[in-house]
Structure 1
């Protein structure tokens, strides 16, 4: 459509429509303005006299004929005004034009006139083509290949279509920076528009627009496919605890397979993790498939997900994707605070005793000022009771509050617990009990504000005076199985066979953003039982029953039933899930192809979890087949306490990164692993993305072309304000449109007089 409009505009007005947006429309009258105004008034008077003297005409005839003749004089006046289009044009051979070729694997899809996209690009931009010769006459042409990384390339014939990603933002940035000291007239981006890299395309387009550098996009490929199942993205958690099932998600984009079943296989390391069969819905093209990936070995483990080929698919290149799962070995320390001895704690400790990734440290008040400590590392830990400073409390990754009243803590300790979640990023779990929640006086306190349920201040100090409510626990009907009890697995009882539990606390509605995971049913009404929410940098949860130990001791349950064990293992793992370390080292993406850059980021905080920009940081890189070396990091001005660097690994295998941070008198360490593999796929949709291509051109003032229609590219690329340019003016008074308007007006006058029988 746009090409048709441009062709029509070029024929009628001597320029395509886009030139009028780029240039300046000015008037250069051949006579002074007063003279032109006088001529126009004289012409109007002549028309008025001539029309008034016509015989045998009606008033309507005089109006029509007068209007047509006046329009002719106005058109003559417009020509005398001499409208001119002034355009900025690049001076020949004084400017550079960058051509960025997409060299990712998506370019090997065979959907371009019976051949591959890559073949179409090489045919259009080959060394001997008319297009490249015309461009070379006007510009110094510089080529770049955008695949795993962006590198200079001599010609399109050197493209291989083996790049692991399509990072258009990084490719444009590399081309701009490489030619920063040269007059850059513009950039031609030859791509299918797929964008699945880690560069910030929007930010780079802003930089190009600010510098006035246009990006002309050349679309390759077809859109949409008739039939295809492609991996759009693989979502994995940043880190999981050893022995957990990592919650992941696979985003599938489907075409023409609605109502059919597809088979999805997931592998973690060398082990087959799952085989799922999914029914493709009929009402949408984007499908999210949940994944449960077992974390059975510590460290950085590759994850591969494959979608079985569907008959008639346009391509299978996007049926496979990979990522990495970072698994913490633990143990993760959780501080459990209990105001009185009660069965819940010993049963909880027994439930997680065999989990080597969890360490529950218990502080139980046995009398005023007297405490029983369980699970401590040494005789000094918690010797004086609950921590009174941030550094001591923040050593734990999670806190569980049992039946202990708010008055047990000082005001500073309550605020410190809130900061433990909001600033340290820890997990806080509150349990029900006669001295817990609202009954314990937490309403209106910093801890009460952090909990995911509203607390009633009117019940403070009432204990269980209102009586206990027995209810049967089940997953939230709107959410489904909360995943805390491994339902359906051997040794775990179904929900409806578990004993009822007791609730003695009065609570309000869930807060905005809170998620009800489990609910209890009593007397036909449902009560939130397990609720969680994000809060600051961390998360909080509330488990309302006071006697989950009944799930272990009920006489009608099998002796080897593991429901209680599975529930508390899952719940406590959720409490410490995603809790950050004092020093964290990350290399993203964790799985790359040789030559693909890694973004290395190190976050440093002190013992009170305040970011430290003054830390002395170093990272030691150990390649699999070369000597170790130090990677220098620079402070990130946009993020406090963070340091960044770019690493481009080449050798295949695991690359180990070991970070060291000196904060005051403390020396802290962190480590991570990046995997370099030749089998990294180009994830995401492989259809041509016209929307992205149009956005790139529109944001930067460029044009959109099809690979089969590039005749006007050399001329239009020369119309730029970037680089070394000269301004050229083109008269528009002699445009074919003006001549056609003259013929139309004079012909209309003749036809009307002929129709009315006038002279």
Structure 2
């Protein structure tokens, strides 16, 4: 028997908008309407304690009963011993870490593991069905079916959703540079507050960054803020809306986000073949930002002049150490013969291993055509055709954003997404684009040609693409004339477009980290009960992947200094990359460190926080359909509360009878030997007496 003790079962009280379910609950618990004011767990305990049901006592007449409670974890509970007088079942209030989530799949897997090799008549599951973390219960239900162990699910609660307003997410870069513009998107989610206008406030620490009135027209509304950080350090962004009348969950109206501001100048390397117009305007745009270290190289120019940036360069960096010192590399229409094979290998490693960013701008002569079957092609997001294919148009075409492109701040030309989309629709058209054999799997197409289709999938030809490659990222443009957007609007949209591309593509650098060591987590913030996915990338001083059997890391809880050592295992197919999962035991702020090459410890590589936020109360309604699916997949059934008393008759008799033979050696038994000896002596005496001897 499994009883759900998650927060939605132990703290939440249903609004009972469903009259049918309310009446069913009242009848099942004896007819007193006051039972609807109980928590769901209290209703389960009252139901099991009713004499008319006597479920535990009747089950124990024919079965051995195991009782578990579950939420974020599974915990066995003691039952009175057989023969003891029946007493009402009691379950103590669960601790916050146990109640923080509902993991039905974990609970079912635990029961199947504990009873492996034993006949299991069935599993009784009392829950509201609100699975929100952990493995899919459908997998465990299938295993139960294979073991002929049906699952009977009993649903608790009101299936209607309560009213709720929540800060759903904060989206921004986790590491930003002092003096750069930072764009923050805040998503609000509402349920049954359509048309309401609510004040949204964004703060950085105690400083208010912005306040806006948001009208809730859709289920999800997104608003953008922007600011320029003036101090370095670790800060907490907080987005908040006031609690609304009628809200049942008052814990999700505030959300936080860890933001680190660093004082490090961005270092860019731009390599171009000839001084085409795209190069001229983009180079000037980058030079306008005096905070950027900018090395700029024309391959058909005089390399001895030191280039055209604000940092001198006299040729492509020939060793990894020099190349890896850059944050971002821009490749234009550069001929293949400018690079050695080692240069291209280093460029690929710059993205995959160093975690650098690469921006590639196609051209009419060389890029990407010259690089088919080269190492560089492995990190590009497009499939390069065997022969160059490009189109020059008599009439201009206008770039068309995909759904992903419209929702990606990288391509927003205004703070308001709707206004940005209007601007895109009015930009001057272009006359040339390069064509490929389509995108690679894993590449994100942000913009397309409105009419030309290419590739095996016959998709619209990609114009702007983005792809994560190893530890780094690649952005590719298949047009070379975005400078034409300057007509009628000046530099405004051309500069904004490329500034946002460069800002978004900036690699995340952390204080205490270096080019040899990086450790990341899959999220910035977690709810207590969630597992943290940790990934480390380790290089030797020669920029080669570390190939140790495992890597060591540690997590420090900032509030009390507790240290938790971790062992990271190698990731198959990703040399120098190690990974592990860890579940924080307590809420608080945590800091990750890792031991790199030669056991050298790098401090403070990653900060994240763990909150006792209520994902349980975000969506507390009874999920009857998933419970029916779990039961049906296992060969069991969904049981209404009014039919719980019939459960003992539904369970099959899983007991098994065995016959065994016990053999004893008589000669090893003294009594048998004495009896046998007396029998022989008696026969001899009888024969002697009768004269037969």
When the two structures are superposed, what TM-score results if normalisation uses the length of structure 2? 0.66
Does the 8 A contact of 2:188 with 2:220 survive in 1?
A: yes
Does the 8 A contact of 1:399 with 1:427 survive in 2?
A: yes
1:169 and 2:105 aligned:
yes
* Structure 2, unaligned runs of 5 or more: 17-21, 26-35, 79-88, 452-459, 659-693
* Structure 2 counterpart of 1:123: 46
CA deviation after TM superposition for structure 1 residue 605, in Å: 4.3
Structure number with larger C-alpha Rg: 1
SS of equivalent to 1:633: strand
Cα distance, 1:184–1:631 mapped onto 2, change above 3 Å: farther
Take 1:616 and 1:320, find their aligned partners in 2: how far apart are those partners?
Answer: 41
Q: Which moved more, 1:339-348 or 1:265-274?
A: 265-274
* Structure 1 counterpart of 2:639: 705
* Structure 1 counterpart of 2:689: none
1:507 and 2:445 aligned:
no
CA deviation after TM superposition for structure 1 residue 304, in Å: 5.1
Take 1:600 and 1:353, find their aligned partners in 2: how far apart are those partners?
Answer: 38
Does the 8 A contact of 2:71 with 2:103 survive in 1?
A: yes
Take 1:667 and 1:577, find their aligned partners in 2: how far apart are those partners?
Answer: 22
SS of equivalent to 1:632: strand
1:229-628 matches, cutoff 5 A: 229=164, 234=169, 239=174, 241-242=176-177, 243-246=181-184, 254=191, 260-261=195-196, 263=198, 265=200, 267=202, 270=205, 271=208, 275-280=213-218, 287-290=219-222, 292=224, 299=234, 301=236, 309=244, 315-316=248-249, 320=253, 322=255, 324=257, 327=260, 329=262, 333-340=267-274, 343-354=280-291, 360-365=294-299, 367=301, 370=304, 372=306, 385-388=315-318, 393=323, 396-411=326-341, 413-414=343-344, 417=347, 427-431=357-361, 437=367, 441=370, 450=380, 452=382, 457=387, 476=401, 480=406, 483=409, 484=411, 486-487=413-414, 495=423, 505-508=432-435, 511-512=438-439, 515-517=445-447, 531-534=464-467, 537=470, 538-542=473-477, 544-546=479-481, 548=483, 551=486, 563=493, 565-576=495-506, 583-587=517-521, 590-592=524-526, 596=529, 598-606=531-539, 614=548, 616-628=550-562
* Structure 1, unaligned runs of 5 or more: 1-97, 281-286, 461-465, 522-526, 729-759
Take 2:266 and 2:110, find their aligned partners in 1: how far apart are those partners?
Answer: 43
SS of equivalent to 2:644: coil
* Structure 2 counterpart of 1:109: 13
When the two structures are superposed, what TM-score results if normalisation uses the length of structure 1? 0.61
* Structure 2 counterpart of 1:217: 153
Deviations 1:129-162 (A, max 9, x none): 7223333444554444433544445655423696
Q: Which moved more, 1:262-271 or 1:194-203?
A: 262-271
CA deviation after TM superposition for structure 1 residue 669, in Å: 6.0
Does the 8 A contact of 1:501 with 1:546 survive in 2?
A: no
Does the 8 A contact of 1:193 with 1:219 survive in 2?
A: yes
1:196-211 matches, cutoff 5 A: 196-205=132-141
* Structure 1 counterpart of 2:569: 635
Does the 8 A contact of 1:220 with 1:706 survive in 2?
A: no
Take 2:610 and 2:2, find their aligned partners in 1: how far apart are those partners?
Answer: 29
* Structure 2 counterpart of 1:99: 2
Cα distance, 1:717–1:309 mapped onto 2, change above 3 Å: farther
CA deviation after TM superposition for structure 1 residue 277, in Å: 2.0
1:83-98 matches, cutoff 5 A: 98=1
Take 1:118 and 1:220, find their aligned partners in 2: how far apart are those partners?
Answer: 9
Take 2:187 and 2:543, find their aligned partners in 1: how far apart are those partners?
Answer: 31
Does the 8 A contact of 1:633 with 1:644 survive in 2?
A: yes
Q: How many residues align?
A: 586
Take 1:206 and 1:321, find their aligned partners in 2: how far apart are those partners?
Answer: 39
Does the 8 A contact of 1:473 with 1:495 survive in 2?
A: no
Cα distance, 1:333–1:235 mapped onto 2, change above 3 Å: same
Does the 8 A contact of 2:430 with 2:484 survive in 1?
A: no
Cα distance, 1:626–1:207 mapped onto 2, change above 3 Å: farther
CA deviation after TM superposition for structure 1 residue 576, in Å: 3.6
CA deviation after TM superposition for structure 1 residue 429, in Å: 1.9
* Structure 1 counterpart of 2:70: 146
Cα distance, 1:506–1:237 mapped onto 2, change above 3 Å: closer
CA deviation after TM superposition for structure 1 residue 693, in Å: 1.2
Deviations 1:319-366 (A, max 9, x none): 647464565746554432133566335413234434xxx654434447
Q: Which moved more, 1:179-188 or 1:213-222?
A: 179-188
CA deviation after TM superposition for structure 1 residue 572, in Å: 0.6
SS of equivalent to 1:710: helix
SS of equivalent to 2:435: strand
CA deviation after TM superposition for structure 1 residue 400, in Å: 0.9
Q: Which moved more, 1:396-405 or 1:689-698?
A: 396-405
Take 1:219 and 1:396, find their aligned partners in 2: how far apart are those partners?
Answer: 58
Q: Provide the aligned C-alpha RMSD in A.
A: 5.2
Which structure exhibits the higher relative contact order, with contacts defined as CA atoms closer than 8 Å and separated by 6 or more residues?
A: 1
Does the 8 A contact of 1:591 with 1:676 survive in 2?
A: yes
Does the 8 A contact of 2:170 with 2:255 survive in 1?
A: no
CA deviation after TM superposition for structure 1 residue 288, in Å: 4.7
